[in-house]
Amino acid sequence: MLPQAATFDYIYLTDIEINMRLEDKGQILPPPVLNKYPQMVSEEIQKWSNIISATHLDLYDRTKVDGADFYLGKKELGHIHLDGWVHLATNKELSQLMLKNKLAEKFPYAQNWVMFSIKLRQAQW
């Protein structure tokens, strides 16, 4: 089960390196409906306090929907792609823990970001 808004640990957000800011995104559209388990995760994240959710557009074709983005204020927390892959911004400590425990893979395009696939209900943690 995902953390509830009241128990979400905002301490981790203090040194996260964020690449895409909300104002860089362009037009904000509601997030698309994803497949079963990714959609369950998306809906839960959307319940958290101060979370902005939006359509994630393809990096190379800004007219193509590619998933759901999640922001805390203007900073991106991560996104879920249509195929269920998650790209998650973390800090160094959290990314190392996730990699060490094989909960995620290193995201090759941004420091301290990780990636993993939501394929099963267990991916909801």
Distance (Å, whole) CA 118 – CA 40: 10
pLDDT tens digits, 78-88: 999 999 999 99
pLDDT by residue (tens digit) across 61-72?
889 999 999 999
- What pLDDT is stored for residue 26 in this prediction? 73
- Note if the pTM is more than 0.85: no
CA gap 86, 111 in Å, rounded: 15
For residue 26, the Cα-to-chain-centroid distance in whole angstroms is 18
21 DSSP assignment: B
Residues 113 and 89 sit within 8 Å (Cβ to Cβ): yes
Question: Residue 35 has what DSSP assignment?
Answer: -
Torsions phi, psi of 45, nearest 5?
-60, -40
CB-based contact 83:24 (threshold 8 Å): no
CB under 8 A, 24+ apart: contacts of 70-74? 70/45, 70/46, 71/22, 72/10, 72/13, 73/22, 74/21, 74/22, 74/23
To which H or E segment does residue 116 belong? strand 113-117
- For the segment 89-111, the average pLDDT, to the nearest whole number, is 95
Other CB atoms closer than 10 Å to residue 4's CB: what's the count? 11
